[in-house]
Structure 1
Amino acid sequence: MAQTMTNSRVIKVHPNDNVAIVIEQGGLAEGVSISEGCTTLMPIPQGHKVALTAIAQDSPVIRYNEVIGTAVVAIERGGHVNETNVRLPTAPGLGELSLATRQASASEPLEGYTFEGFRNPDGGVGTKNVLGITTSVQCVAGTVDYVVSRIKRELLPRFPNVDDVVGLNHSYGCGVAINAPAAIVPIRTLKNIALNPNFGNEIMVIGLGCEKLQPSTLLEDRPVKIYENSEAADPEANVLSLQDESFEGFGDMVDGILAMAERHLERLNKRSRETCPASDLVVGMQCGGSDAFSGVTANPAVGFATDLIVRAGGSVMFSEVTEVRDAIHLLTPRAINKEVGKALIEQMAWYDDYLSQGQADRSANPSPGNKKGGLSNVVEKALGSVIKSGNSPIVDVIGPGERLRRKGLTFAATPASDFICGTLQLAAGMNMQVFTTGRGTPYGLAMVPVLKVSTNSQLGRRWHDIIDLDAGRIATGDASIEDVGWELFHLILDVASGRKQAAADRLGIHNDLVLFNPAPVT
């Protein structure tokens, strides 16, 4: 993505743009000259847009060489352009998009890059070695939290090769229309989370006993072995139900879970890191708390790193349907074939219908914080968001909760909600996540390392112990997109190897899983 630096105070992304964003910390005061003949007519905050030319009423406002809206009123040269004076344009139609028309440029394979990971029998590679304890129903979440605390305190110190014990709690499992067509989304999400490579195939399931979502459903692709509260308990037991009549009181239940966990920890502790090619990386790209810098600093650098991972033979997914919908015309030409292009369109159409049924539309995005950071509407947000996907061909499209099927760049359809997107990318099989933010967020996942990249250096300095990499240096000219992209690529390899630790893991900041459930609740 070409950037035209008007001067040290503003960034104009493309020569055809009629707006630029303010990069100067604290914003610009009234009367500041930003280019020949263009002076600010009012104070304009950092990250917000200034009109570089006069924009007539109903005329297009252009950023990224794309129309992000039309002027509600005439905007004078040097005026402040924001959500109050930019009208949301019509979304791109889905019936006339170009499919697989961009011929992928030949890129040289990136060879010789490795990381130290935990290889699984199925070929997947973990970046952590974690005992996952999932639940079949929310009713047992409190018990799992209690037991996880006990395991960490009493058992985990005996198993130095195991990084953590994580309770995979959620709000699903009962009081839901379990047979409704859309129920497949939360059910397959939970099933596929259990297959995440960081769990080493040693997942445990704790159920209640009377729930609609039976524990065996979550393990239907592998043997189900029920824990028996006796000396004859199967050492490979992976399912325990609290309503089992052999348990006498809560203490008995806890002892049973601890005994089952100990056997799983023994097997996980036999795993060790080994050298794996970078092609075993499965990286989820996400953004949250975005601002106007996202599309010119962090996201382009992430896009550069995306292309490096793909060139190395690895897998990358980008997501967030509502932050792709208004840039879909830029993506369908990149599909590797027409079938993949049609799959992109189908996911956009499904979500359009989903929002319509809920009597909402895409204008519900962005958030107040996004607007405060300079993003006027979802079109501008989407154009900056999709840059995370780099320039690689899109080789596949998967629905919410599905697993990755192919190496390369995949669009994994998810809502834009940070927590739901993270949960669904976890189910897709990511072993690492990169999360860009301009407003700041302490977001993290206990199951995989999450690297947070700041879009502006002010945030990077203020949140010095939460942010892993500052991409704001791109805006100030202290680093290029390529510089930060390579830096991120090397950081991913270091964290995947356990040589460095993501800030969220170091601080113990981890968010809950949040399932996407479009089906009815009874």
Structure 2
Amino acid sequence: MHPSAALLVLSPGDDVAVARGDIAPGQRLQADGIALIAEQAVPSGHKIALRKVAAGQRVLKYGQTIGQATQDIAPGEHVHVHNLAMPATSTEHSLTNVYQATVPSQVAATFEGFVRADGRVATRNFIGVIASVNCSATVCKQIAQAFTAERLKAFPNVDGVVAITHGSGCGMGAKGEGIDILKRTLRGYADHANFAAVLLIGLGCEVNQLTPLMEELRERPAALKASLVIQDAGGTRATVQRGIAQIDAMLPLVDACQRTTVAARHLCVGLQCGGSDGYSGITANPALGAAVDLLVRQGGTAVLSETPEIYGAEHLLTARAASADIAAQLMARIHWWEAYVRDNAGDMNNNPSPGNKAGGITTILEKSLGAVAKGGASGLMGVYRYAQPVDTQGLVFMDTPGYDPVSATGQVAGGANLLCFTTGRGSTYGCKPTPSLKIATNTRLFEHMALDMDFNAGGIVDGLESVSEAGARLFQLMLDTASGRRTCSEDNGLGDNEFLPWQMGAVM
């Protein structure tokens, strides 16, 4: 490898460069017109100082502050947790608005989807068995498990029967944010376009009563929506048998659904990153952002989330908010999180996980700057609370925790019919009823976990393709997946246990 190819400088004037591969002590390097000698070993994806940085000075990467030097840093030194920390600063959004309306694409993109009676479009054709409370979880699972691949062979258009279970629904207040979030999340799943039919099951005495939930669901044919209460049905085995009979009656109706050609504007894509590394903000996230911009030009929707993981980079979103009110809504959620963390004796900079740090990410500022790239350059058109139905086209933001299963659950409840999940360390997340694409940040990961990764963005850092080229390739994969191409997580049987609503409030 030529010395100049060993390092990546992401923005002119950055104080650090990123190692393309492992760097040995004493290795001669060159980047941004600067000649260096590595003072220590620098792992792949980690940072090396390009110039002298004094203790207390802010350190730039992406042309943005990622932290503050805790000691003097010499050129060629490894820059990480031992000499870089969060600066003492408060968040504020950009005072300069650079929002530009999206120019629609002149070439229409399409996919093959299931058009529902209300006009919404599904990317999968599942039947859902949904628990109102943890007490009905086993019954839901036993009903779903009865519908094996062998039993479903006669119904080729049915993607499966899925049990949606959770650990809540009782032992909580009958009013307040906790029960509101749970109801909103369950309602979002029960109404999801990817569920052609649903069977909801309760115990009978729980706080989260089944009847009010059923009354709030969207209209659909009576034969495709049913409920059972274990205490009324005669107990566990009687409920399981009745549930199986009800699903049997639904199967022919669901199997009658056929894919048809629809416009790409019917895609609602949840954007996730997990197991991030030092390449996430260089390859996979920008490539996903480029794909998002193509989707938005088609009239589609992308949902950026994980509020703790945009912390410190929120100014990049408020700067392109479609209105001052949208920018203020985003900042209100940021300030809520600051108070929430403070009240629970936490720290916003606690977010980068041990795996993130091993991969080269030092502070939440650095992680957030890379994470925001998933949203591309499109304008911010709306801000939603957790699991709220997303009814705006374009790039929107949903307030969720950074914990991937909780965040993705909220996005799917909001209507996401496809998930795009970037990872540098190797996440294997699946999320029925919505397919989840895994986007590897580096070629080593893509090859090492070949049966879990759907897309390799590592060609960007390898010098084989540009961000825009990778984005176009990813956008086509999104359309193919929406049309029925199976993801690795689907082939691996993932997605039955990942439903995890955000649990708030006291457990009593």
TM-score category of the 2 structures, normalised to the smaller one? over 0.9
Structure 1 stretches (4+) deviating beyond 6 angstroms? none
Across the aligned residues of Structure 1 and Structure 2, the Cα RMSD in angstroms comes to 1.8
Task: Give the match's secondary structure for 1:157.
Answer: coil
- In 1, Cα distance between equivalents of 2:142 and 2:101: 53
Deviations 1:313-342 (A, max 9, x none): 101111010111210111111110111111
- In 1, Cα distance between equivalents of 2:98 and 2:347: 30
Is 2:259 aligned against 1:273? yes
Identity of aligned residues (%): 35
Shift of 1:110: 4.6
Amino acid at match of 1:217: P
Matches within 5 A, 1:17-36: 17-24=14-21, 27-35=22-30, 36=34
Q: Of 195, 207, 210, which aligns to 1:212?
A: 207
Structure 1 counterpart of 2:77: 79
Shift of 1:357: 2.0
Deviations 1:128-179 (A, max 9, x none): 0000111000111112111111123574233221111110101111111231
Change (3 A) 1:211 1:390: same
Change (3 A) 1:90 1:329: farther
Task: Give the match's secondary structure for 1:452.
Answer: strand
Structure 2 counterpart of 1:196: 192
Greater Cα shift, 404-413 or 209-218: 209-218
Matches within 5 A, 1:130-209: 130-152=126-148, 155-200=151-196, 202-209=197-204
Contact map agreement 2:23 2:43 (CA 8 A) in 1: yes
- In 2, Cα distance between equivalents of 1:142 and 1:292: 41
Structure 1 unaligned regions, length at least 5: 226-233
Greater Cα shift, 390-399 or 258-267: 258-267
Amino acid at match of 1:311: R
Structure 2 counterpart of 1:13: 10
- In 2, Cα distance between equivalents of 1:237 and 1:345: 39
Matches within 5 A, 1:52-71: 52-71=50-69
Task: Give the match's secondary structure for 1:70.
Answer: strand
Contact map agreement 1:100 1:338 (CA 8 A) in 2: no
When normalised by structure 1's length, the TM-score is 0.93
Amino acid at match of 1:441: S
Is 2:505 aligned against 1:507? no
Change (3 A) 1:173 1:84: same
Deviations 1:331-358 (A, max 9, x none): 1111101111111111112222221221
Greater Cα shift, 98-107 or 188-197: 98-107
Matches within 5 A, 1:112-511: 112-152=108-148, 155-200=151-196, 202-222=197-217, 238-244=226-232, 246-247=233-234, 250-498=236-484, 500-510=485-495, 511=497
Structure 2 counterpart of 1:43: 41
Task: Give the match's secondary structure for 1:326.
Answer: coil
Amino acid at match of 1:509: L
Change (3 A) 1:153 1:314: closer
- In 1, Cα distance between equivalents of 2:391 and 2:411: 13
Greater Cα shift, 301-310 or 111-120: 111-120
**Alignment length (residue pairs):** 502
- In 2, Cα distance between equivalents of 1:143 and 1:101: 53
Amino acid at match of 2:199: M
Shift of 1:268: 1.1
Change (3 A) 1:6 1:338: farther
Amino acid at match of 2:500: V
Contact map agreement 1:91 1:325 (CA 8 A) in 2: no
Shift of 1:107: 3.0
Task: Give the match's secondary structure for 2:460.
Answer: helix
Contact map agreement 2:139 2:239 (CA 8 A) in 1: no
Contact map agreement 1:343 1:397 (CA 8 A) in 2: yes
Shift of 1:517: 1.7
Contact map agreement 1:208 1:243 (CA 8 A) in 2: yes
Change (3 A) 1:143 1:78: same
Task: Give the match's secondary structure for 2:278.
Answer: coil
